[in-house]
Amino acid sequence: MEDKHFLIDLMVSAKVHQNKPVIDFILASPAPIDTAVKIARSYELLSLKEKERAMELEEMSKFCDNLANELLSIAASNNNTAALLRAIDNRNTPFLDVLIELQRKSVVAHPAVQKYLTELWMGSHSWSSSKVLGLFLGFLLCPPFWLGTSLFCGHKIANVPIVKFMSYLVSHIFFVMVLSITIINPWNPLYNSTNLIPHWNEWLLLIWLLGMFIAECTNPSDREGLGYIKTVVLFVSAFAIMVHVVAFLFKEDSPRLICLYVRNQLFAVALLLGFLEFLNFLTFHHLFGPWAVIIRDLIKDLMRFLAILLIFLVGFSLNMCAVYQPVFKPDQGNGNVTLPVLGAEFQSPLNTFEMLFFSLFGLVEPDYMPPLHLSPAFSKIIVKIVFGVYMMVTVVVLINLLIAMMSDTYQRIQAQSDTEWKFGRAKLIRNMKKASAAPSPANVLTFLPEIIMERCNGNKRSKGGLLGMGSMAQMNKDTNMGSTVSTGSRASSGRQVRRVVPLEEMVYGMNKLSNVVDWPAISSKYLDVRRASLSVVESLQHSMPQRE
């Protein structure tokens, strides 16, 4: 599937034979659904490189996604969805993680997958919305209750993804509050902090940032779109802390206060990004989730627009700078050294760039532009012509191009808002399931004990080289929530408790994606459905000429 020539030849052959070669290739594999999603991703990536065949490759990618959806529907009819999504591929990656990593949004949006994710999201609890809201308000209004719940990492309540989500959301709200108190502190102005000893809120902020750094290093996170906000917040905050440390090198109060002011400006940037981080927390909501995706893609459109705008801005700035080039020698007066009058100084490219940039927002008019005392009289006409052409190109052409790009992006995302929301929800639930139960700053207390426990458990496993069923249950704890176990499997587990199972057998045994369901039977059902649908289409095609 990594050979592009093979993929293109397979696509060409499939176009001639009604996609039969692709179907045969997928169904002949040990795990057809795994092959379908991976070959769909391969065609999708290939369409980005092979621009001359982009449309055909995208259609083939969609066909493979549809085939995976149909195979998943047949498997879900036998109540095998949970086992299928927990099964691992040849890289020992759970199939749900494979779908998310390969960005198979249509497959993740399948009702069977979403039902499994809902069970995983709520755990084994069926809480009402009022109870969930009450628990969230309890976390928010009673910080000791929030910290106590977070510190009980081994408790089943603390490991429920929705409880983790509320705990992390409350942690972020408190972080924004502590950061706001640090940079907006009217009762303790900066001129009272010349000794540079951190106050209580600054110590608390430092501990919070340490916990966020630990969470960023240990917890899985989404690195797409707005997923980098946390990393940027940590980077900016670390730079602000460095500025505070540098202030200790100065002995006078004035440089120290300037360093504290610069530190607060950096923290203000982190605070702004912290508010943008709330968009990532809204991913779970069916209304605000698509909006977060729309905002992310609109920002991408804005970045592309700024790249084009920069070309015109630099060109017109240098043109205007040439017009403002002084021609005549300025009047020195009686020989007294004075500051140059307005218009007598040289208009640098930076000044003209600033002037043209703010003119996009209607803040600059031709009559209020810098005077031309040292230039010929006709230079005013040149300025008006250049400025008029610039405004026509930027405002009339480029700004409308930006509006058209954003409108197209909004309509495209809105058309598939349900799929985008479900995919973002799946990533959130997966990350919350794998994340630690203790958010910042509680994870500062639990980080070292968790590492020690993991090292001890790892030494015990490596000492014998064998893994018992108790360890197997502990290892699969994160993936078993929300699933049901049949009576036969329980009896089988009961018989195997006394038997020590090798790790290799456990990993490559029944949990393998190729063995978790009866793929030959599912493939046979799919072919029967496909033959029936093709016969219906052929009968309709034969009936059309007869009616005419």
Q: For the segment 425-445, what is each residue's pLDDT rounded down to a tens digit? A: 898 898 888 888 888 888 888
Q: What is the 3-state secondary structure (H, E, C) of 416-462?
A: CHHHHHHHHHHHHHHHHHHCCCCCCCCHHHHHHHHHHHHHHHHHHHH
The fraction of the chain above a pLDDT of 90, given in percent, is 18
Angle, alpha carbons 300-301-306 (nearest 5°) = 100
In degrees and rounded to multiples of 5, residue 502 shows phi and psi of -65, 150
- Average confidence score pLDDT of the chain: 80
**Chain segment 215-238, per-residue pLDDT in tens:** 888 887 776 767 788 899 999 999
* pLDDT score of 324 more than 60: yes
| pLDDT tens readout for residues 286-295 | 778 788 778 8
**Distance separating alpha carbons of residues 380 and 341, to the nearest angstrom:** 18
Which residue in the block uniquely carries the two structure tokens 């100084």?
345
HSE-up of residue 284 (Cα within 13 Å, Cβ side): 16
Q: Can you give the pLDDT at residue 448?
A: 77
Whether the pLDDT of residue 61 is over 80: the answer is: yes
**pLDDT score of 93:** 87
**What's the confidence (pLDDT) of residue 127?**
80
**Residue 538's pLDDT is what?**
59
Question: Distance of CA 395 to CAs 311, 323, 398, 498, Å?
Answer: 14, 22, 6, 77
- Structure tokens of 344? 């007598």
477/160 Cα distance (integer angstroms)? 12
Is the pLDDT assigned to residue 91 strictly greater than 90?
A: no
Compute the distance between CA of residue 276 and CA of residue 236 in angstroms, rounded to an integer.
15
* Residue 203 binned pLDDT confidence (cut-offs 50, 70, 90): very high
- Stretch 107-127: mean pLDDT: 86
Considering only residues 484 and 64, tell me which one the structure prediction assigns the higher pLDDT: 64
Report the range of poorest mean pLDDT among 225-229, 341-345, 398-402.
Answer: 341-345
Bigger pLDDT: 273 or 418? Answer: 273
Count other C-beta atoms under 10 Å from residue 124's C-beta: 10
Inform me whether the pLDDT recorded for 244 exceeds 60: yes
The burial class, CB within 10 Å (0-12 / 13-18 / 19+), for 49 is exposed
* pLDDT at residue 225, as a whole number: 66
Cβ(185)–Cβ(146) below 8 Å: no
Residue pair 440/178 in contact by the 8 Å Cβ criterion: no
360: which 2 tokens? 């996009």
pLDDT of 1 over the 50 cut: yes
Of 125, 133, 136, 127, whose CA–CA distance to 159 is shortest? 125
What is the band of 108 on the pLDDT scale with cuts at 50, 70, 90? very high
When pLDDT is averaged across residues 388-392 and rounded to a whole number, the result is 90
Give pLDDT, residue 154.
Answer: 54
Provide the pLDDT for residue 535: 65
Helix (H/G/I), strand (E/B), else coil: 347: coil
Please tell me which residue, 368 or 107, carries the higher pLDDT value.
107
- Position 248 scores a pLDDT of 92
Higher pLDDT among residues 374 and 180, named by residue: 180
Q: Are 69 and 106 in contact (CB under 8 A)?
A: yes
Contacts of 312 (CB under 8 A, 6+ apart): 390, 393, 394, 398
Closest CA to 46 of 74, 75, 6: 6
Q: What percent of the chain has pLDDT over 70?
A: 82
Beta strands in 44-121 (DSSP E): none
pLDDT of residue 141: 92
Rounded CA-CA distance 65/57 in Å is 12
- 220 or 103: whose pLDDT is higher? 103
State how far the Cα of 519 lies from the Cα of 477, in Å rounded to an integer: 26
Q: What is the pLDDT of residues 471-511, one digit of tens each?
A: 444 344 444 444 443 333 333 334 333 344 444 444 444 58
- pLDDT at residue number 242: 95
Question: CB under 8 Å to 223, separation ≥6 — which residues?
Answer: none
- The answer to which of 54-58, 444-448, 490-494 has the lowest mean pLDDT is 490-494
Predicted pLDDT of residue 364: 78
Does the structure show a pLDDT above 90 at 332? Answer: no
Lowest mean pLDDT among 93-107, 315-329, 453-467: 453-467
Nearest to 320 by CA among 382, 392, 393: 382
The whole-number pLDDT of residue 419 equals: 86
What is the pLDDT at residue 246? 93
502's enclosing H/E stretch is strand 501-502
- Identify the pLDDT of residue 243: 94
What's the token pair of residue 129?
């919305």
What are the C-alpha distances in Å from 388 to residues 74, 356, 478?
64, 11, 64
Task: Indicate if the pLDDT at residue 452 is higher than 90.
Answer: no
Mean of pLDDT values over 174-179? 94
